[in-house]
Chain A
Amino acid sequence: MTDVSENTEVKVAVEAADIFVNSYYKTWNKENGGKELAQFYVKVNPESPLKPDITINGNIVEDPTDLDGLHRSQPSKTHYEVEAFDCQVVNTNFTVGAPEALLEGNAAGKKMSILVMVSGSVKYPETFWINTDCYLDSSAEETRGFVDNVLLVPNWDITKKNEKEKKKWLVQSQTFRLVL
């Protein structure tokens, strides 16, 4: 087994987490970003042992494509902002769903599973509150906090076909929650 140096481990993980947090929430912020959300996740494939496990505010989302519906249910101009994040490597040699040829470890850290914890805020447009009358006179309430815990795993497709466009890391597990 080839070991990943601690240096590489941290570097690769931070880079992966950074790319994820900087693109994923932007997609949520996009007007029609709902359809693009699914591409951040491992695919639902009955033959693969690798399945996405998504919980948003306690609701289990069976298929990443269902996130489009959640995205649509939000008022437009909802804005997610990442305020803090941290990451750790869970397994330096993650192999679930990996092709037979890729069971060996990778010293460059390409096969890690990386846990990312994000703390941020969601801002709903003011009109939303007026329309729903939830808070008649407290515009400050429109900003809420969230915590998101995400497990990034290697995108096996990219190793297979070496396609440049694809994401290197995909979300296998997500526990998102508005906490404020």
Chain B
Amino acid sequence: MLQRAPIAPRGPRNSSPSVRSRGGIQKRNKAGGPVRVDRDGDLVMDAIAAGDKRRSGKGRLEGPTSSRGAGRGRGGPSRGANFGAVKTQQAIARGLETRQANILESRITTGSTTLQIDGLSSSKAASNPDGGVESLLAFLERKASGPNRNVKIKKSHKKGDSVFVTASSEDIAEIQKLDGFTFAGATLGIQARDSPSSASRPEKSGDKRKDEVSSNAMEIKERLKGVLAARYNSDLKLLNLSALAQDPGLREMGVFNGTTTTSKIFPALMVVCGGLFKTRQEKQDAIVSVTLADNDLADVGDVTALAQTFPDLQHLDLSRNRLAQMSNFDAWGAKFKHLSTLILTGNPIETQLATLKSDIMKKYPYLEILNGVQIRTPEEVAVALETAKSPILIAGPDFRDVGQVGENFIRQFVVLYDTDRSALLANFYDAQSVHSLSVNQNAARGHKNSGPIAPWAPYIKQSRNLVKINNLPTQMTRLHRGSQAIERVWSTLPATRHPDIQTLGDKYLIECHALPGLADPTGQSVRGVDGLIITMHGEFEEQSESPGKPIRVVSDMLSLRAWGPLALPKLPLNPQANTTIINTEQQKQEAMAMQLVERTGMTPQYSALCLTETGWDLEKAFMAFTANKDKLPADAFITNAAR
């Protein structure tokens, strides 16, 4: 459906196209097989659980595939009692839309597993240029696939005589069945290398030294996944990275032994975490908040990787670290552009926040809440976002009417053009009125608006697009002077139906201001008289005579429309007295009303009313507005002011 400008409305901040990719995730969950993990694992969560959690996850993996794959099970958030302790986390995620599949969790716990395959080196394929790896993989995939299952090896690498392959847990189970199969004259030995749990570790250390490195790396990765899973809260879309040095899972891994600090393990955690998501959008949807509280950070340099992994983060808690000055944030550069909440409680920098506020606001252009204090209103953020979208801020219509002349004209114009063009001409046009229209056939439009373009034929015949019409005779014949000539043209144009300007005001964008130096029809004023220039962007439907759907057109492409009426010099002169004699007091009041409109979002009428009641004192009027704004009816405000 063609709509006018897809300029985002001012209100919703998260109007980013998250819907689609969420659908994508859901689909993957359904089709891709990984079993949704029970919430319990998720909720135990606090730091104890890394190892346990993984084991329980693994147990499930081998069970039959759950059919509740796509279920959005929101069961039992109340059981998250353990979370009560972590107040900040909830605080920073408060107000978020939490209805979201626990993507991270399912990804982490149902992640791929690994098999070690021996025997390739003694096969005939070993003489292949790649040592036979490729044909081995093809063999495994072919043999393991059944009529209903297409086994896919995700990753593989050759280490010494062994080949390690990674695949989904179900696929791994199938591949494992090939243990003892003959491949190119050699018997394959296939053994699980998955989930290097603590139980399997000692055994491994006594094993082949050769594989130590890779399986170690693999093991670390698995353990980090476990740590991350334990620290993720899908309800709050929060990744809790607080007090990492105290994390039992990490301690068990020995990463904090000796001098090792957060700075060592953090990049690894981030790499593992980032690897869990296929797209940035998935990541953005799954993790909205991160807490890095209690990490003894003196500089975010130790956690630089956070910015690379979560550039779209909205809420960040840095409580109880040792951050002391703005330069401690330099490592993040201009990242975290979308940050909406920042918590710095319990840092030395906290005492200087009053003076640093403007620096922080500059650094984080959409930051709304700093340490629990609102520093920007959602409206201001909306404006900032709008600015980012189009570098020149898109403000509401600049409608500087004079004595409602413009407004009254537009109301009549739109209706009469649809219903009675002769009356329109008779009322507002005269022998000197000029009309022309031009069609921009190349007009850009968002690719969202991919509906059919209306046939331009009746308009093209009259189009005076001077980019194309370069010869003077045509330029002259397509300029229509006088109501009779205009009526002839209009009679060739399809009947139209415009949205009701009273009820569907947001379909229009109308601007106007005074224009000096129009010819005085009475000839009295040598210097001319004032008029109004009115610019109207709208849309209309054609009432097609042949059966068929009415066609909806993007008005903006129709710059053809209403050229004359918008521009007509004669129009404003009809109510001559009104426009030519403008009393300065009235002008002042209108300017004041406009200021109030800008500050309050009220309609000009309500603004004027408010000002009248407060004796045309802008400040008083604004105070009155503030005191009463909740009581005002909806129609007191300009709808969709962002347009």
Binding site for B on A (CB under 8 A): 6-7, 10-11, 14, 17-18, 49-50, 53, 55-60, 70, 73-75, 78, 82-96, 98, 103, 113, 115, 117, 119-121, 124, 128, 132-138, 140-141, 143-145, 147, 149, 151, 153, 172-173, 175, 177-180
Q: How far is it, in angstroms, between the C-alpha of A180 and the C-alpha of B5 when the chains are bound?
A: 4
Q: How far is it, in angstroms, between the C-alpha of A86 and the C-alpha of B463 when the chains are bound?
A: 9
Most buried by B among A11, A50, A143, A175: A175
**Are B398 and A180 touching (Cβ within 8 A)?**
no
Q: Determine whether B280 belongs to the interface, using a CB cutoff of 8 Å to chain A.
A: yes
Known: A57-B390, A136-B280, A173-B515. A119 touches B466 (CB 8 A): no
**Are B567 and A90 touching (Cβ within 8 A)?**
yes
Taking the closest CB of chain A, its distance from the CB of B287, in whole angstroms, is: 15
**Are A75 and B391 touching (Cβ within 8 A)?**
yes
Residues 355-388 (chain B) with a chain A CB within 8 angstroms = 385, 387-388
Complex partner residue of A91 from B280, B312, B569, CB under 8 angstroms: B569
Complex partner residue of B392 from A59, A90, A180, CB under 8 angstroms: A59
Residues of A within 8 A of B592 (CB): none
Taking the closest CB of chain A, its distance from the CB of B288, in whole angstroms, is: 14
Q: Which 5 pairs across A and B sit closest by C-beta, in order of nearness?
A: A58-B395, A84-B440, A119-B559, A96-B517, A86-B438
Residues of A within 8 A of B436 (CB): 86, 88
Q: Interface residues of B, CB < 8 Å — how many?
A: 73
Contact bitstring B1-17, A, C-beta under 8 A = 1, else 0: 00011110000000011
Q: Determine whether B443 belongs to the interface, using a CB cutoff of 8 Å to chain A.
A: yes
Taking the closest CB of chain B, its distance from the CB of A18, in whole angstroms, is: 7
**Are A85 and B445 touching (Cβ within 8 A)?**
no
**Are B395 and A175 touching (Cβ within 8 A)?**
no
Residues of A within 8 A of B468 (CB): 84
Taking the closest CB of chain A, its distance from the CB of B639, in whole angstroms, is: 15
Residues of A within 8 A of B390 (CB): 57, 144, 178
Q: How far is it, in angstroms, between the C-alpha of A57 and the C-alpha of B643 when the chains are bound?
A: 9
Binding site for A on B (CB under 8 A): 4-7, 16-17, 280-281, 311-312, 337-338, 385, 387-398, 434, 436-447, 464-468, 472, 475-476, 479, 481, 509, 511, 513-519, 526-528, 533, 535, 537, 554-557, 559, 563-564, 566-567, 569
For the complex, would chain B's binding face be called helix, strand, loop or mixed by DSSP majority?
Answer: loop
**Are A14 and B475 touching (Cβ within 8 A)?**
yes
Q: How far is it, in angstroms, between the C-alpha of A75 and the C-alpha of B392 when the chains are bound?
A: 10
**Are A88 and B446 touching (Cβ within 8 A)?**
no
Taking the closest CB of chain B, its distance from the CB of A116, in whole angstroms, is: 9
Taking the closest CB of chain B, its distance from the CB of A59, in whole angstroms, is: 5
**Are B467 and A53 touching (Cβ within 8 A)?**
no
Q: How far is it, in angstroms, between the C-alpha of A133 and the C-alpha of B366 when the chains are bound?
A: 13
**Are A85 and B465 touching (Cβ within 8 A)?**
yes
Residues of A within 8 A of B337 (CB): 132-133
Q: 8 A–B contact pairs at CB < 8 A? A: A10-B475, A57-B390, A95-B528, A138-B17, A138-B447, A173-B513, A180-B7, A180-B556
**Are B438 and A119 touching (Cβ within 8 A)?**
yes
**Are A91 and B7 touching (Cβ within 8 A)?**
no
Q: How far is it, in angstroms, between the C-alpha of A179 and the C-alpha of B533 when the chains are bound?
A: 18
Q: How far is it, in angstroms, between the C-alpha of A173 and the C-alpha of B514 when the chains are bound?
A: 9
Known: A53-B514, A91-B528. A147 touches B559 (CB 8 A): yes
**Are A90 and B518 touching (Cβ within 8 A)?**
yes
**Are B567 and A115 touching (Cβ within 8 A)?**
yes
Known: A94-B528, A95-B517, A96-B528. A88 touches B392 (CB 8 A): no
Q: How far is it, in angstroms, between the C-alpha of A128 and the C-alpha of B337 when the chains are bound?
A: 13
**Are B438 and A141 touching (Cβ within 8 A)?**
no
**Are A140 and B464 touching (Cβ within 8 A)?**
no
Taking the closest CB of chain B, its distance from the CB of A110, in whole angstroms, is: 15
**Are B444 and A86 touching (Cβ within 8 A)?**
no
Q: How far is it, in angstroms, between the C-alpha of A73 and the C-alpha of B445 when the chains are bound?
A: 23
Q: How far is it, in angstroms, between the C-alpha of A149 and the C-alpha of B445 when the chains are bound?
A: 19
**Are A92 and B465 touching (Cβ within 8 A)?**
no
**Are B535 and A58 touching (Cβ within 8 A)?**
no
**Are B537 and A177 touching (Cβ within 8 A)?**
yes
Q: How far is it, in angstroms, between the C-alpha of A151 and the C-alpha of B434 when the chains are bound?
A: 15
Q: How far is it, in angstroms, between the C-alpha of A144 and the C-alpha of B519 when the chains are bound?
A: 36
Return the chain B residue nearest A94 by Cβ. B517
Complex partner residue of B466 from A86, A133, A151, A179, CB under 8 angstroms: A86
